[in-house]
Amino acid sequence: AWTKAMNDVVIAIMVEKKGAMENLEEILSVKGVDMVQFGPGDYSITIGKPGQRQDPEVQKAERDMIELALKKGVNPRVEIASFEQAKPYVEMGVHHFCIGTDLRVIYGWCQQQAAGMQKLLASV
């Protein structure tokens, strides 16, 4: 049962450090690694550009990670804020997404509902 459980579990690695990108080929070659995800916020810190998630160097590292993962047969997972942001990743071959941070999505939905209720009740 333990062996089956271990074979059924998904092993995902978060690539957040410059050192991980420098050793990505080796990381992706480890038997059993199923998925990788890029962490632009933490990565930007390790290259001396804290908070610059959209910096061209950070964006290139994410693309490089995705391309190498796909080449090595490891599924890349990408965090996006909305489905509209998925298109360029889908075109690259990505099929696994986290669409927004759960709390951010729920918070936005709650704000929309509250605004709608305020508007509705103000007209009564």
Q: Are 64 and 36 in contact (CB under 8 A)?
A: no
| pLDDT, position 102 | 67
As a whole number of angstroms, the distance between CA 23 and CA 105 comes to 34
Residues of the chain short of pLDDT 50, as ranges, are none
How far apart CA 118 and CA 62 sit, in angstroms, is 42
Which residues does residue 97 pair with via DSSP β-bridges, in sequence order? 78
Q: Give the model's pLDDT for residue 7.
A: 79
pLDDT at 54: 92
DSSP letter string, 33-89: --EEEE-HHHHHHHTT-TT-TT-HHHHHHHHHHHHHHHHHT-EEEEEESSGGGGHHH
- Identify any residues that bridge with 35 across adjacent strands, giving them in sequence order: 12, 75
The identity of residue 10, as a single letter, is V
Q: What is the pLDDT of residue 56?
A: 96
Separation between Cα atoms, residue 117 and residue 111, nearest integer Å: 10
